Structure 1
Amino acid sequence: MSADGWRSILVLGGIRSGKSAFAEALVAGAASVRYVATAVGGEDDPEWRARIEAHQRRRPQSWTTEETGADPAGLTAVLAEAKPDDTLLVDDLGGWVAALLDPARQPNDDLATVTALADAVRACAARVVLVSPEVGLSLVPATPVGRAFADALGTANQELAGACDRVAFVVAGRPTWLKSGPDAPGITTDLEAENGAAERADTPVTAPPAPRQTVVVEAPGLDAAAMHAAMAPAAPPPSTPAAAHPRTGDGVVIAPGMDMPLPDGDAGPDARDRLERVDLPGAGLGALVEAVEFAAATQASAVPRPWGPARVLLIDGRRAGGAAAGADVPDSERRAAQAEAGEGALAALATTAGADIVVVRTAAAGAMEDGPVLDAEAVDDALRQGWELADAAADEGRDVLILGSCGTGTEAAATAVLAATTGAEPVALLPRVLAPGGRYDDDAWMLRCAAVRDAMHRIRQDPRGAKDILAQLGGADLAVATGALLGAASRRMPVLVDGPLGIAAGLIARDIASQARHWCLLADAGTHQLVRQGADVLGLTPVMELRLDLGEGANALAALPLLRAAIALAGALPVHPALLAGHGDAGLEPDEAEPGAAVV
């Protein structure tokens, strides 16, 4: 049994219920996942092949895929050979049962094979999540083959439900736990989460210690209301919840095991499929399809609306010791002051992209090579501050959040976080120190490498939990960014991560709430290997390969108008005339379209 109370989970659900996306979220926090695919066929069925490819696109690049294919014994063998540090995701048992019933395998003792699989799950040393269709809620199939499949799958589901520690049933993307226990703090039903929040609401929340400064700067010349009206022709469907969690002041405890909402697992692939039919003069949107699919999933609509006003959180933190070697503190202060005054590159890009800027100054962090950079109380305060900043952005009508940094020592801190959470080699990741005039200060780079090396040696036997990493290596700026990312996920708000700060915050947020990374988009990886490797661990593929190096926050702002244009175009174009069913067919009837979406 693992530390958070489960080793094996069975996820049940109907077709298009969101069961696969929910299962993927359960293992999203694992460093690597072995995805065991059971589906066979599809060579002569383009629609079935398209479904398989949609699942493949959704998997992080850090996952490996194994196919058991037509041999049911292959899945049992994979479970038997798994190591204790493995994480297996089996999707799904429907394909496994179909292979089991193959006439070429008959006569066969199918029940014995099912029992052997259940025994293999019980004995498996690895963490296992199994996905299976629930076919028992429909009519009895009219054909003998259909009845045999339903009976065999029902038997398999019952056997596996008995073998697994936890069983979830997913309906319309919402999980209900059929089998759970008090020893699983990281897995709760929606009702349990609401009850817990209500109980915590009576608990006083410690007021954050001052001082801290937050300055909101409106981008000059931006008429946010007019821009929002032009770019967002329709409001989101009223059924979309405005917030999935109460405010931190209402009792939310930011701690590992938080349960966050997930983007819609079907809307993204549906949006991608829809783009194949729209009236484009060329072959399509290319890599920008990723942005359309992301927007569709986060809005739970196959016809997403373009993002309206954005908010940049420009976080200004300071560090002592070798992490800040070669840093120009006055220059960092100048960048922050420029943003406050609506001047400089960041403000100019914000005007173009329809964004405002929030400058957040955080407490200075200690030297990571000497000891903890922040105490536990300060970590909690900074996390709450970030959550509240995301809440404020959502309440003020911002559609997307952008994380950026103008502080000192951020790259070294982010490198240390990546090394501590993934085992990466710091020297291969730490960016070189760029001095004014385009000169690289390699002496300062070596001092930063030494600081990270000494810090990693210092914590070699210490716990590596999310808050431990923030206290030992991260600092207040990273904690604020992490809290903002979590708060945005709780409000179903997309986050454009941009640079080392956003990637490090994403890695820490993943260990607090594994679903948080699904609300992140990386527009461009820039020039930093640190960003690319961290993004790969998070399963984030850069939408574009512009190799921008404009500074954190500025890269995402430069790309935002193009992302917004692609989403707007995808939602506005009708079906190509050659693909209409007949003369006069205009596509969907108005009452069949998504509420507030363009009719295709």
Structure 2
Amino acid sequence: MSVDGWNTLLVLGGIRSGKSEFAESLVADAPTVRYVATAPEGDPEDTEWATRLAAHRARRPGSWTTEETAADPRRLADVIAGAGPNETLLVDDLGGWVTVLLDPAHQPADDTATIAELADAVRASAARLVLVTPEVGLSLVPTTPLGRAFTDALGATNRAVADACDAVVLVVAGQPAWLKPAGPPPQHPAVPAQAGPGQAGAPAVAPGTVNGTAPEESLPEVLTPAVPAAPAPAPATAGADWAAPTMALPMIATGLVIQPGMELPMPDDYAGPQAVDRLATLDVAGGGLGVLERVVGFAGATQGTPTPAPWGSVRVLLLHGDHAGGASAGAVPGESLRRARQARTGKGALARLAAENGASLQVVEAPASAAIEDGPALTAEQVESALRYGWRLAEQAADAGVQLLVLAACGAGTEAAAAAVLAATAGAEPPAVLGRVLTEHGQYDDAAWMVRCAAVRDALHRTRRSPRDAKDILAELGGGDVAVATGLLLGATARRLPVLLDGPVGVAAGMVSRDLAGQARHWCLLPDHGGQPAVRLAADVLGLTPLVDLRLDLGEGATALATLPLLRSALALAAGLPAHPSLRDGEDGGNDEGFAEPEPAGPGPATVEPEPEPEFAEPEPAGPGPTTTGPDEPVSPGRRAD
């Protein structure tokens, strides 16, 4: 989770201002959250305080874990510093932490040094971190020495942590006011899909600019996952709505029920072939669109029309989730986190290509995956949470008017996890589908490749007697990013939203989704296999024929964005070209569009009427005789006719 591109956030607020609820809403959509409780239990006789603590606990979802730091205030800095890049921490609150810090049991203590250690840990945190704290700077100065010591220490803590955080928000009466940075981040307008230089409605483009802005300013619209609204209670007659065209899934108190055998929508069986057949009638000089006919057929089927339009609103979903153990052998530590942060700031190859295509970019944090050779990558609860998380991401995109999703991923060990999924679902040999390991210096690390193969082999041996259904494969082998991607494909299918796949994570999710809803693969398009053996095998099993063979190696999702202008061009031609003149029913007198019959050069009528053909007349006989010939006279018997 990241708040508008910021990784660490401080939430300030007064008593009963709603600061805790606001902070909890920011991380409610994260797959897993570690709740760090700082307040002491208090006096057992204080029932009001116990009631407050119980209310806080009741609001936390069952998938959250709680960690107490009240016994030692210095431990909070250690917890923050030790959190990994795929973790989400919610610290509530720093007022309780200062209370423990000032407790006589911890004195004498260097409070200033402890506060500085906390600020340093926040500044260097690799995790997604939200801290809650009371704002005491607007209240009266306490009349007791202990009260003044508390406000002084808390004020110093708030200043130090606010300086270390990427963003600070003040909650007043339940309304957030952003203090750092001032105001929301600038939103970059999307580039029109079809308007170009010289076209109607296209702005003038200055030399040396990209899409009308300077190169350093051409950034995509970077989004963050929105907080989903709580599902409304289903009415008593909701069961009859499950068969509606939207194919909404049943809901229970914990959210979506994602289960095998779901009936989700299929693309239009008639519109796709009709869109391809229509291409043969277009007025083109050559033989047509070639392999890009499949793009037109795919768009026609998913849009439900023989004349599909080019995709306008496109969203790139970049899944970031690392895999521990041998699956990530040869990966540079922290490299995937750097790539994710780079994308959040609109930099890097993926962000640049997204800006060129006018696509928005959303970085999604997936739960970290444990070493598959030692045990399951995820728990069953984490799999359910990740599936629902991906589903909600697709729903949010559909509600925002997105017409096409591009599924991308960055994370250490994703190739090995995808190879393990393919081995479990398609019977592949891990060495045959696991690509070689390329180092940051452009060299192949065969030793790391062998470690990855061994990790996948050991994981398959460990799970040889485990069931091979979809959720078991995600828990044992796939991990967080594949689970979120699977939920995303299912949610996109339910909302009739096409998806461009690009890379091992996407095709591995496609393989897993077959057991949950076989319709999902029909909403996927694979622009390129990228030379990766895992993608080639999965594409063959899923029936996805790659369109091009560019062999780009810029990271998952980049090839799909690089080919997107070509796909849009094919759809624009298919939708905009007229029919061939020979197929028009007498339009414009059989002439091409805009052609007029020329006026005659000399005098005479403007038009020449055709002369009527003469009626046929019996010719006059050349010799004497009657002008008409009657019927022959009968010949009597015995008389020869002359």
Settle same-fold status: TM greater than 0.5: yes
2:245 matches 1:245: no
Runs (5+) with no aligned partner, structure 2: 1-58, 66-86, 89-127, 130-165, 167-183, 202-243, 592-642
Query: What is residue 514 of structure 2 aligned with on the other side?
Result: 510
The residue correspondences of 1:158-173 to structure 2 (distance < 5 A) are none
Deviations 1:62-114 (A, max 9, x none): xxxxxxxxxxxxxxxxxxxxxxxxxxxxxxxxxxxxxxxxxxxxxxxxxxxxx
| CA–CA separation in structure 1 for the residues paired with 2:354 and 2:518 | 30
Deviations 1:395-423 (A, max 9, x none): 11111111111101000000000010010
Structure 1 position 493, deviation (Å): 0.2
2:285 matches 1:281: yes
| CA–CA separation in structure 1 for the residues paired with 2:440 and 2:185 | 26
2:424 matches 1:458: no
Structure 1 position 324, deviation (Å): 0.7
Query: What is residue 190 of structure 2 aligned with on the other side?
Result: 224
| CA–CA separation in structure 1 for the residues paired with 2:185 and 2:434 | 32
| CA–CA separation in structure 2 for the residues paired with 1:208 and 1:395 | 26
Q: For residues 207 and 575 of structure 1, do their structure 2 counterparts lie closer, same or farther at Cα, with a shift above 3 Å needed?
A: farther
SS for the counterpart of 2:305 is coil
RMSD over aligned Cα atoms: 2.9
Structure 1 position 226, deviation (Å): 4.8
Deviations 1:445-492 (A, max 9, x none): 000000001111111111000000000001111100000010000000
Q: For residues 567 and 205 of structure 1, do their structure 2 counterparts lie closer, same or farther at Cα, with a shift above 3 Å needed?
A: farther
| CA–CA separation in structure 2 for the residues paired with 1:572 and 1:219 | 38
Query: What is residue 411 of structure 1 aligned with on the other side?
Result: 415
Out of 548, 551, 557, which is 2:555 matched to?
551
2:438 matches 1:438: no
Out of 524, 527, 533, which is 2:531 matched to?
527
Q: For residues 439 and 242 of structure 1, do their structure 2 counterparts lie closer, same or farther at Cα, with a shift above 3 Å needed?
A: farther
| CA–CA separation in structure 1 for the residues paired with 2:280 and 2:357 | 28
Question: Which has the larger share of helix?
Answer: 1
Out of 579, 582, 586, which is 1:582 matched to?
586
4+ aligned runs moved over 4 Å, structure 1: 204-208, 210-215, 218-222, 225-231, 246-251
The residue type equivalent to 1:245 in the other structure is: A
> Quick one: higher RCO (CA 8 Å, sep 6+), 1 or 2?
1
The residue type equivalent to 1:348 in the other structure is: R
Deviations 1:533-584 (A, max 9, x none): 1011001001122222221011101111110111111011110112223243
Structure 1 position 586, deviation (Å): 9.8
Structure 1 position 227, deviation (Å): 4.4
Structure 1 position 249, deviation (Å): 7.7
The residue correspondences of 1:6-85 to structure 2 (distance < 5 A) are none
| CA–CA separation in structure 2 for the residues paired with 1:249 and 1:399 | 29
| CA–CA separation in structure 2 for the residues paired with 1:310 and 1:229 | 16
Structure 1 position 223, deviation (Å): 2.3
| CA–CA separation in structure 2 for the residues paired with 1:560 and 1:535 | 19
Out of 350, 354, 367, which is 2:371 matched to?
367
The residue type equivalent to 2:370 in the other structure is: G
> Contact between 1:242 and 1:491, CA under 8 Å: does it hold in 2?
no
The residue correspondences of 1:327-366 to structure 2 (distance < 5 A) are 327-366=331-370
| CA–CA separation in structure 1 for the residues paired with 2:430 and 2:264 | 31
The residue type equivalent to 1:380 in the other structure is: E
> Contact between 2:312 and 2:403, CA under 8 Å: does it hold in 1?
yes
- Count of aligned pairs: 374
| CA–CA separation in structure 2 for the residues paired with 1:552 and 1:481 | 13
| CA–CA separation in structure 2 for the residues paired with 1:225 and 1:585 | 41
TM-score when scaled to structure 2? 0.55
Between stretches 206-215 and 558-567, larger displacement belongs to 206-215
| CA–CA separation in structure 2 for the residues paired with 1:396 and 1:442 | 45
| CA–CA separation in structure 2 for the residues paired with 1:501 and 1:302 | 32
Name the % identity.
56
| CA–CA separation in structure 1 for the residues paired with 2:489 and 2:387 | 10
2:451 matches 1:485: no
Q: For residues 254 and 585 of structure 1, do their structure 2 counterparts lie closer, same or farther at Cα, with a shift above 3 Å needed?
A: farther
| CA–CA separation in structure 1 for the residues paired with 2:331 and 2:249 | 39
Structure 1 position 359, deviation (Å): 0.7
Structure 1 position 364, deviation (Å): 1.4
Query: What is residue 497 of structure 1 aligned with on the other side?
Result: 501
